[in-house]
Amino acid sequence: MCPSEPARELSRDWRPLMPRVRAVAAGLARDGLLVATRRGEPVDPEAPGGAIRLARPPCAISGPHGETT
């Protein structure tokens, strides 16, 4: 999703919220709970350089014997 989506949900005047949204996204990314990408490549959510997208990280699925698929 675009980081502006949660900001838009919080306020009509959402643009001033963007630095805080990116800061929260950076913390979640550091904790491994979120991935930020730019043009499909992982980036720091607070790094300058244009539009980013936020997503949940891919999960490893364990099989019945503990192997990862």
**pLDDT attached to residue 46:** 84
**pLDDT attached to residue 10:** 94
Is the pTM above the cut of 0.85? no
Domain 4-55: which topology? Answer: Arc Repressor Mutant, subunit A (1.10.10)
Rounded to whole angstroms, the Cα distance separating 1 from 56 reads 10
pLDDT tens string 3-44: 999 999 999 999 999 999 989 999 999 999 999 999 999 998
* Residue 24 parent element (H or E): helix 18-30
Per domain, the residue ranges of the chain are 4-55
**pLDDT attached to residue 66:** 57
pLDDT tens string 53-67: 999 988 745 556 655
